[in-house]
Amino acid sequence: MTTDTTINNKSCHPKEQKLLAYKNWIHRPVTLPPSEENAKNKELNTITNITLNNGYRKEDITHLYNKLTRKTGNLDNKDKKRTK
């Protein structure tokens, strides 16, 4: 259960501060192994609902997800190169 409360999109806070909670929440499902696909989808749906309830667009969360996915993929590739 969640309270769905984060810094609202209409707040005067800098955008980076407003999206920081979402960035941290997205990190977990992004780093889950492929075998945890159901858990990943459930968490992403919850995060998306919280996003919408706080005045953000779905595209905002999609952009963060894609950015973190690319970044995580790049880290995985660097680790693979180091072990070779």
pLDDT per residue as tens digits for the range 33-74: 889 999 999 999 999 999 999 999 999 999 999 999 998 775
What band does 78 get if pLDDT is binned at 50, 70 and 90? Answer: very low
Q: Report domain extents, the chain.
A: 39-68
Return left, alpha or beta for 4; rule: phi > 0 is left, psi -120 to 50 is alpha, else beta: left
- Is the pTM higher than 0.85? The answer reads no
